[in-house]
Amino acid sequence: WRVAGRRWLRYADPMAQQRSILIVGGGTAGWLTAAYLARALGQRAAITVLESPGIGIIGVGEGAFPTIRTTLRHIGIDEARFVREAGATFKQGVRFDDWLHSPTPAGRHRYLHPFDAPYQAEGTDLVAHWLLKPASAREPFAEAMTIQNRVADAVRAPKHSGEGDYDGPLAYAYHFDAHRLAALLRARAVELGVRHLEGELRGVETGEAGIGRVHTDAHGALTADLYVDCSGFRAELLGRALGGPFRSAKAHLFTDRALACKIAYDRPDTPIESVTTATAHEAGWIWDIGLQHARGLGCVYSSAHLSDARAAEILRAYVGHDRFDARIIPFEPGWRETQWVGNCVAVGLAGGFLEPLESTGIVLIEAAAAMIAEFLPFGGAVSASASRFNALMGARYGAITNFLKLHYCLSRRPEPFWRDNADPASIPDTLGAMLAEWRHRPPSRFDFLVGTESFAPFNYQYVLYGMGFETDLGQDAGGGADAAHAERLFERIRSFGRQAVAELPEHRALIRQIGEGV
């Protein structure tokens, strides 16, 4: 009924309520929003994107979350085209090295946050059975709960070739080249009827509605019913022109710089990892992403705890040589409290950014684009749902802050950066309260509000139990026949895992096959 009703509304009189939308910025945020809105609004919107090739895009943001599959399907890009044109590889989760403690002669700590949900068995709560085992008798949580750990360790792809678009036996996302992704989204948006202007915004007139008009170097003055600020950290419209207040997350999340580079593979057939590797160091962590033609790396750190020179040294030690150029990207973790003001809404870095961990930048762009598409009224002021948008986006940023902080605050590393992260004063109250509750029960779906949460309770479980957090279920829960049944289920997961490793293609081989159109 809903779909039929919307169709009718859209086609009854296509031009009746057409809105003009001007998107300033042609990075991932600008082009993803343009393509998303073009597809969702059809004739209801006339969309223009203004971008400045001279200023360029930030060019990082090489990892996504599984929500990207739904977004790309909605936009109408098929998976093979996406893999070929964005230079994409498959991502099955994030592997965390050295987050619990620093490497010791006895070994390193490692855990996986896989994208696949824990195996669900009717009538048997496997999480509870895992928690009831003595710590010494447990497999790592992700290994016990899913087959994805084994598949990723064996450098296998999460699906077979020829399996449906954006579909497969395991949840997955992608790694990709940020420049090629923006180019692909641009090509798709233009196919969908979006007008593309190259030029630079040089001035903004504000008015009662918010933005009055914008002045450009090459196209004169431009006006629109709705302005979308996708101008990256410059935040030309919502930040500079309208002065939207910025809410810093610095009290909770300490990293504020990244030193990013690309490293070529040693050989053309070097296996490509299908997880992001996140390796902790004395004052932050390093991302290591397997792209098609190179690895993307970045040393993320807190400038209050580490000098740029020391960060460069840490990155060189990780890479094993110094034959690469790296660039420093400073950022301030936080978000604009009101992201939609009158006729102007910010999406992407212009609206906020927390830090690269867990790839939440693009997740937030997807959420904002979908909300704009559904909140844009068929009549009346474009800003009718602005306060609802602001409340939902603010809550989403807050929830992500909690999830990211969880990765840091459970660490037992001794360096000042990690001790400061474990200081209860740096833990948001809402996270502190949940951690206290999780001492006696695991995270539940009722801990989170649907609509403001980007992560599921199981994402929290993977991080909590990967980091050695103990949830005490009491001594007598479970046991007996039920425990024996749970053991059989754990064995079934192990055996499915072995089978999947034997049957799934090697990751690089699948990428090559897709590239060749086989």
State how far the Cα of 75 lies from the Cα of 184, in Å rounded to an integer.
Answer: 11
**Which CB atom, from 367 or from 500, has the smaller least distance to ligand FAD?**
367
Told to check if 203 binds ligand FAD by CB under 6 A, we report no
State how far the Cα of 444 lies from the Cα of 205, in Å rounded to an integer.
Answer: 48
Helix (H) or strand (E) holding 308, with range, is helix 308-319
Task: Tell me how far, at minimum, the Cβ of 417 lies from ligand FAD, in Å.
Answer: 17
Residues 229-258 that bind ligand FAD (CB under 6 A): 230-232, 234, 236, 258
State how far the Cα of 308 lies from the Cα of 92, in Å rounded to an integer.
Answer: 31
Name the phi and psi angles at 362, rounded to 5: -75, -30
Token duo for residue 213: 């008009």
Does the annotation flag 133 for ligand binding?
no
Residues 377-406 that bind ligand FAD (CB under 6 A): none
Which residues are catalytic, by number? 91
Instruction: Please enumerate in sequence order all residues whose Cβ is within 8 A of that of 153, keeping only pairs 6 or more positions apart, or say none.
Output: none
Told to check if 510 binds ligand FAD by CB under 6 A, we report no
Told to check if 496 binds ligand FAD by CB under 6 A, we report no
**Which CB atom, from 291 or from 365, has the smaller least distance to ligand FAD?**
365
Told to check if 93 binds ligand FAD by CB under 6 A, we report no
Choose, by CB under 6 A, the member of 6, 7, 9, 56 that binds ligand FAD: 56
Helix (H) or strand (E) holding 317, with range, is helix 308-319
Task: Tell me how far, at minimum, the Cβ of 256 lies from ligand FAD, in Å.
Answer: 10
Instruction: Please enumerate in sequence order all residues whose Cβ is within 8 A of that of 60, keeping only pairs 6 or more positions apart, or say none.
Output: 178, 258, 260, 296, 298, 329, 356
Task: Tell me how far, at minimum, the Cβ of 123 lies from ligand FAD, in Å.
Answer: 38
Told to check if 60 binds ligand FAD by CB under 6 A, we report yes
Choose, by CB under 6 A, the member of 34, 46, 52, 151 that binds ligand FAD: 52
Handedness of CA 495, 490, 110, 127 (dihedral sign): positive
Handedness of CA 74, 80, 83, 85 (dihedral sign): negative
Told to check if 100 binds ligand FAD by CB under 6 A, we report no
- Work out the number of other CB atoms within 10 angstroms of the CB of residue 325: 7
Task: Tell me how far, at minimum, the Cβ of 80 lies from ligand FAD, in Å.
Answer: 22
Task: Tell me how far, at minimum, the Cβ of 298 lies from ligand FAD, in Å.
Answer: 6
Instruction: Pick the piece of the chain touching ligand FAD (CB under 6 A) from 122-130, 349-357, 394-402, 504-512.
Output: 349-357
Choose, by CB under 6 A, the member of 62, 85, 177, 453 that binds ligand FAD: 62
Residue 495 CB-density burial (10 A; 0-12 exposed, 13-18 middle, 19+ buried): exposed
Instruction: Pick the piece of the chain touching ligand FAD (CB under 6 A) from 61-69, 149-157, 366-374, 435-443.
Output: 61-69
- Spell out the alpha helix ranges (H) of 376-428: 386-409, 416-422
State how far the Cα of 82 lies from the Cα of 173, in Å rounded to an integer.
Answer: 12
Told to check if 89 binds ligand FAD by CB under 6 A, we report no
Largest CA distance in the chain: 77
Q: Binding site residues for L-tryptophan, as ranges?
A: 358
Q: Binding site for FAD: which residues?
A: 26-29, 349, 362
Residues that bind ligand FAD (CB under 6 A): 24-30, 50-52, 55-58, 60-64, 178, 200-201, 230-232, 234, 236, 258, 298, 329, 331, 348-350, 353, 356, 359, 361-362, 365
| Numbered residues of the known binding site | 26-29, 91, 349, 358, 362
